[in-house]
Amino acid sequence: MMAITMAVAAITTPSVLGRRVIAAGAALAVLMGAAADAGAAGNGVFDSERQRFRIVTLVRGLDHPWGLAFLPDGDFLVTERPGRLLRVDGATLQRRTVGGLPAIAAVGQGGLLDVTLHPEFASNGLVYLSFTGADEDGVGTEVARGRLAGDALEEVEVIFRALPKSRGGRHFGSRLLFDANGRLLITLGERGDRPRAQDIGDHAGSVIRINDDGSVPADNPFVTTAGARPEIYTYGNRNVQGIALDPGSGRIWAHEHGTSGRRRGQYSRIGTQLWLAGDYLRAQLRLGHEDR
C-alpha cells in the first residue's frame, strides 16, 4: 500500500495543513511509492543541498496514488490509478470518494492518472482529470473536465482523446499543467511503440497543448501542417510523467520516464523554443549550451 507525505521546510511549523500548504506556500506534496504501512515512508528531517525538510505522512493505505491537487479551502484531491478520486479534508485528513467520474479503463499502467484545477477554479469550480479510456480500437489517454460540487463532479465532458487508440497497457503518460497563458498541457507516452513518437499524425509520444475547453490554440506549431495532429506541441518523447512551471521565469520543464542506464538523464525544456530530450546523449548535445 502507498501513502501521501508532505515535505515542508523545517523552519515552518504551522499546525493546520491548510496553513502549511495554502498560506505558507512553501510545501511540496509528494506521492510516495514505498511501502508506507511498513514504515518505509517514515517521518523525519532531511537535508538537501539547499534546504532542510521535515517529512510528514498525511494519508496511508492508498492504491497507486497518481495525482494530487490542492483546493482553495485546504482540502486536496487525490487520484488512485484503479479509478477512484478522493477528497481529503485538510483539517482532519478524513477522505471521501468523489463521484461523477467518466468511464475509466484501468489497464496495465493506465487508469485514473492526473488531476489539476482550472486557473480560475475559485470562480468556475472546474477540475481536470487525465485517464485511460477505451473504445473498439483499444485504449488511450483522455482528458475530461467537470465542476466540483461537494463530493461529486457535474457536467463532465471529455475534451481530449489521444488517437489512435491501441492495444497494450504501457506508457500512457500522463501529467496535466496549465501554463502562464491558461493553455492546458497534457503529457503522453508513446504506448511502448517508439516509432509512433516520431509521427506527428499520431498523438502518442508527445506533449499536447490545448485551450481549457479542448479547442486548439491558433499558435500551436503544427496547426497548418498537413496530416499533423494540431494539438501536438512537442513530439519524439518516450513517456513524459513530470511537468512543472517555473513561476519566476515562466519556463516549463518536463521529464521523461526512461529506461535504465543511458536514458535515465532525460529532461526537456518547453518554452519559446522546444527542446526535445531523446536519449541521454542527444539531450546533452541539444541542451549543452543552455542553463541547466
**Positions marked catalytic:** 171
- Three-class secondary structure of residue 274 per DSSP: strand
Neighbouring-strand partners of residue 115: 129
Rounded to 5 degrees, φ, ψ at 143 are: -130, 135
For the residues of 19-88, what is the DSSP string, one character each?
A: IIIIIS--EEEEEE-S-GGGTSS--EEEE-SS-EEEEEEEEEEESSEEEEEE-TTS-EEEEETTTEEEEE
Sign of the alpha-carbon dihedral angle for 218, 224, 225, 230? positive
- Three-class secondary structure of residue 284 per DSSP: helix
CA 2 to chain centre: 18
Distance between CA 285 and CA 76 in Å, rounded?
A: 40
Distance between CA 176 and CA 179 in Å, rounded?
A: 10
Distance between CA 231 and CA 210 in Å, rounded?
A: 6
Rounded to 5 degrees, φ, ψ at 22 are: -85, -55
